[in-house]
Amino acid sequence: MIEAATPGIVAKFCHTFGAELRRSFSLDVELQLPSSGITAVFGESGSGKTTLLRCIAGLQRVQRGNLSIRDDIWQNEQTFIPTHARPLGFVFQESSLFPHLSAFGNLHYAMKRADGGVTQQEFDRIVALMGIEELSNHYPDQLSGGEKQRVAIARALLIKPRLLLMDEPLASLDLARKQEILPYLETLREEIELPILYITHSIGEVARLANYLVVMEQGRVVAQGDLADVLSRVDLPVRLGEDSGVVVQATVVERDSQWNLLRAEFPGGELWIPDGGDALDEKIRIRILARDVSLALQSHDDSSIVNRLQAEVVEIKDDVDGAMALVKLRIDSTLLLARISRRSVHHISINPGSRVWAQIKSVAIQR
């Protein structure tokens, strides 16, 4: 888990591109990010995600910028550390492996940049983390898209960065390859003491990977905070519509083989979920979409819904023009969202502070 108190990355960039042109773009961001775990930068195409990353990497020099990584200043009024002198790893959408070098050739080349060198033990650990032992002698054109990205991630880690930047690393992979690589990114998040900035326009990747979330729109940060806090906002400026929903971190505590279900506990309650083969005690992320949550004043034992949780209404926000409303709920420290019609809100007459039963129609484990 992230310790909020640790000062991690502090960044501030303000710049207008193409001010002289009719179509200019302004980046105006201020970020305070944790010093470990995955921070997802989420936003539509053209919202300025890559530009932000280029500023952090020093590839884009802007008039007004401040950047510090823990105690190191990379940019302020007096200082501008050039890209090659910044200890950072970069993974792009398209792998940028050298085609004339084998997988391990690529790794060895990168290690020359590592501060203080890389021990055999460190090399073996990273190769094992990315599961690329068997690929050592393969050339990039002999690797699948997913394998190339795993080698590219290992290469980025072997320069011993203090910050890992990933710009839509899965965007050019098909669904099967994405599924193949996601567990490696989870391992990275859990095992490596390194802040990772992960750009994506996929809310599924955010739900699965992020600890911390930055939402960008038109060059600005419109929300930032812990994943659960940002996803449970009823006033998120970016309309997620049918994708609105939260991610609940839970632990598998029981297997019901007869009905093919697992019981998972989270702070404040438990959920029965379809058995996907997860082991007991395993930590899982459960995505609960707001549209799958309905509300009732009483607990209905006769309903087909398995998961009913007692909750407190925290906040209600009507769609400005539509028929729907978003209701934020609290179950102990866990936050949920329900998307129900404004008429239903009126009908069951709920307000902040009301006690309700949240009925969850279906849940999905993020994998």
Does position 49 interact with ligand ADP (CB under 6 A)? The reply is yes
Window of 1-9, 50-58, 101-109, 126-134 that interacts with Mg ion by CB under 5 A = 50-58
Q: At closest approach, how far in Å is the CB of 181 from ligand ADP? A: 20
Binder of residue 18, out of ligand ADP, Mg ion, none (CB less than 5 to 8 A by kind): ligand ADP
Does position 50 interact with ligand ADP (CB under 6 A)? The reply is yes
Binder of residue 189, out of ligand ADP, Mg ion, none (CB less than 5 to 8 A by kind): none
Binder of residue 258, out of Mg ion, ligand ADP, none (CB less than 5 to 8 A by kind): none
d(CA 154, CA 136): 12
Among 2, 13, 34, 47, binds ligand ADP (CB under 6 A): 47
Does position 45 interact with ligand ADP (CB under 6 A)? The reply is yes
Q: Are strands 212-217 and 220-226 parallel, antiparallel or unpaired?
A: antiparallel
Closest to ligand ADP by CB, 47 vs 95, is 47
Does position 50 interact with Mg ion (CB under 5 A)? The reply is yes
Tell me which residues in 1-20 interact with ligand ADP (CB under 6 A): 17-18
Does position 60 interact with Mg ion (CB under 5 A)? The reply is no
Closest to ligand ADP by CB, 26 vs 354, is 26
- The sign of the torsion formed by the CA atoms of 43, 286, 225, 294 equals positive
Footprint on this chain of ligand ADP (rule: CB under 6 A): 17-18, 25, 43, 45-51
Footprint on this chain of Mg ion (rule: CB under 5 A): 50
